[in-house]
């Protein structure tokens, strides 16, 4: 089987995963062919673009209905996707029809037309005033998706923990490069916030690490459905961090930041200061990644986000 993966997906897999990515690409045709046999599927179109490290293609099932076959390079962020999708049960998210633990393959509802709530250019659009209603649509959906993981079948992976992200930040956010790059007051505040967030506020629920609005798409069964969740287990306010950060990144201004924190936290029904703290540390995380990858312009942009959220 020949698979015509989008070139940007292939490049990302080779760049990020290196030798493991090459092995995954080499094995992919056989994995797709095997899943098509086992699930009685026929690939009916070219793989979708827009992702980073997954094969995602439309398929026809044996009963004539259509679906999407998704196979991702496994990483720490997508480790909980199958479990999250199972727990959502199609309530605000694309339905999960089947899951193969060996390959990580997912058979999913095809959300059509699939138009994103907000497209994702390099500089996000979430913070524009004309998109305020879309932010609230996303908040209502993410609030609805929060739930405890219950009834998960054997063979599904455990949800990764937000607590492990917070623990790892102790090594990631306070490296010599970060301490040298940032003012001492920024580093001190980040340490205080990390300590505060290390104790969850409320019950542990299914939350999402990657809450940008490109992962919410127009569908037929519901107006909007979540796709590609980065499901974790953590406190409810965690959902706010990335969504606020993306809004502030649009125009890193303290006035916009205050407005984004208030509207997003209220829309998600979480504490405003917890939401601000998560956004602050998610922006710090982006600075660390940008410095590690030698992307000074990105580091400077996220430094502005941190300043606006201070």
* Token pair belonging to 138: 């996303």
pLDDT of residue 267: 98
Residue ranges for the chain with pLDDT beneath 70: 1-2
Q: Is 60 inside a domain boundary?
A: yes
Domain co-membership, 134 together with 203:
yes
* Token pair belonging to 73: 């390079």
Contact 25, 13 (CB under 8 A): yes
Question: Distance between CA atoms of 268 and 148, rounded to whole angstroms?
Answer: 16
Domain co-membership, 186 together with 76:
no
Q: Is 116 inside a domain boundary?
A: no
* Alpha helices, DSSP H, located in the chain: 7-39, 81-88, 132-145, 162-172, 176-181, 184-197, 238-250, 254-268, 272-292, 296-309
Q: What are the φ and ψ backbone dihedral angles of 58, each rounded to 5 degrees?
A: -75, 140
Domain co-membership, 270 together with 162:
yes
Q: Which CATH number characterizes residue 13's domain?
A: 3.30.200.20
Helix axes 272-292, 296-309, angle to 10 degrees: 160
Domain end (from 108, 143, 176): 108
Kindly report, residue by residue over 186-196, the tens digit of the pLDDT. 999 999 999 99
Q: Say whether 131 sits in a helix, a strand or coil.
A: helix
Contact 91, 221 (CB under 8 A): no
Question: Distance between CA atoms of 59 and 61, rounded to whole angstroms?
Answer: 7
pLDDT of residue 41: 97
Q: Pick from 24, 68, 15: which is nearest to 44 by CA?
A: 68
Domain co-membership, 51 together with 161:
no
Q: Is 220 inside a domain boundary?
A: yes
DSSP per-residue codes, 135-152: HHHHHHHHHHH-----SP
pLDDT of residue 3: 78
Domain co-membership, 81 together with 215:
no
Instruction: Please tell me the total count of domains within the chain.
Output: 2
Q: Which residues contact 163 (CB under 8 A, 6 or more apart)?
A: 198, 200, 234
> What secondary structure letter does DSSP report for 89?
T
pLDDT of residue 1: 54
pLDDT of residue 5: 86
Q: What is the pTM of this model?
A: 0.94
For residue 102, give its domain range: 7-108
CB atoms within 10 A of CB 151: 7
Half-sphere exposure (Cβ direction) of 217: Cα atoms closer than 13 Å: 18
Kindly report, residue by residue over 32-58, the tens digit of the pLDDT. 999 999 999 999 999 988 778 889 999
Q: Which residues contact 195 (CB under 8 A, 6 or more apart)?
A: none
Measure the N-to-C terminal CA separation of the chain; round to a whole number of Å: 53
Q: Say whether 199 sits in a helix, a strand or coil.
A: coil
Domain co-membership, 174 together with 219:
yes
Q: Which CATH number characterizes residue 168's domain?
A: 3.90.1200.10
pLDDT of residue 2: 58
Q: Pick from 209, 168, 172, 205: which is nearest to 187 by CA?
A: 172
Question: Distance between CA atoms of 258 and 241, rounded to whole angstroms?
Answer: 13
Q: Pick from 233, 242, 212, 57: which is nearest to 149 by CA?
A: 233
pLDDT of residue 265: 98
Domain co-membership, 103 together with 149:
no
């Amino acid at each position: 089987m020949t698979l015509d993966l989008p070139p940007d997906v292939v490049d990302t897999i080779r760049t990020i995963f290196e030798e493991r990515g090459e092995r995954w690409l080499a094995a992919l045709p056989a994995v797709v062919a095997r899943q098509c046999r086992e699930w009685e599927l026929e690939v009916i179109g070219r793989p979708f673009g827009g992702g980073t490290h997954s094969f995602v293609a439309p398929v026809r099932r044996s009963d004539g209905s259509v679906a999407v076959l998704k196979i991702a390079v496994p990483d720490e962020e997508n480790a909980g996707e199958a479990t999250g999708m199972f727990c959502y049960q199609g309530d605000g998210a694309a339905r999960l029809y089947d899951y193969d633990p060996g390959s990580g393959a997912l058979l999913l509802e095809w959300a059509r037309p699939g138009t994103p709530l907000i497209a994702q250019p390099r500089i996000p659009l979430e913070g524009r005033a004309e998109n305020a209603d879309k932010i609230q649509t996303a908040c209502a959906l993410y609030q609805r998706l929060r739930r405890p993981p219950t009834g998960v079948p054997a063979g599904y992976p455990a949800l990764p923990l937000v607590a492990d992200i917070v623990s790892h930040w102790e090594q990631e956010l306070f490296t010599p490069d970060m301490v040298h790059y940032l003012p001492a007051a920024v580093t001190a505040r980040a340490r205080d916030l990390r300590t505060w967030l290390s104790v969850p506020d409320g019950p542990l629920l299914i939350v999402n690490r990657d809450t940008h609005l490109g992962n919410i798409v127009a569908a037929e069964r519901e107006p909007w459905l979540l796709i590609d969740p980065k499901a974790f287990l953590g406190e409810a306010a965690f959902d706010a961090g990335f969504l606020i950060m993306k809004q502030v990144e649009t125009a890193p201004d303290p006035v916009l930041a205050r407005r984004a924190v208030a509207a997003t936290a209220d829309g998600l029904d979480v504490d405003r200061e917890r939401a601000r703290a998560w956004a602050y540390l998610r922006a710090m995380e982006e600075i660390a990644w940008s410095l590690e990858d030698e992307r000074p312009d990105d580091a400077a942009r996220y430094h502005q986000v941190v300043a606006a959220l201070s």
